[in-house]
Amino acid sequence: MIRVHLASSLRDLTDGVSEVEVEAATVRRLVNKLDERFPGMGDRLAEGVSVSINGEIIPDALYEELPEGAEVHFLPTLSGG
């Protein structure tokens, strides 16, 4: 199982749930399963979030494989200027 931590900006889709466990082998499959469980989550994640797997932020993480027991954080992307 993958432990998923959801940023506060995503919790309006989860009725306030901040953490869930999901069975998925890749980030893409994880996003699909989250969207099944929380409709609209896939679109929101596609808008731009950073993905951290076991504490490491992964660029272009969609096809990244997830090791069993991984912790994944979906974090809002920050822009600077």
- CATH superfamily to which 2-76 belongs: Beta-grasp domain (3.10.20.30)
This prediction's pTM: 0.89
Give the pLDDT confidence score for residue 78 in this predicted structure. 62
Give the pLDDT confidence score for residue 26 in this predicted structure. 97
Question: 3-state DSSP helix/strand/coil percent for the chain, to nearest 5?
Answer: 30, 30, 35
76-81 long-range CB contacts below 8 Å, 24 or more apart?
Answer: 76/7, 76/9, 76/49, 76/50, 77/48, 77/49, 77/50
Domain ranges across the chain: 2-76
- Digitized pLDDT (tens) for each residue of the chain, 81 residues in all: 999 999 998 999 999 999 999 999 999 999 999 999 999 999 999 887 889 999 999 988 989 999 999 999 998 876 555
Query: Is residue 74 a contact partner of residue 10, using CB atoms and an 8 Å limit?
Result: yes
Give the pLDDT confidence score for residue 79 in this predicted structure. 59
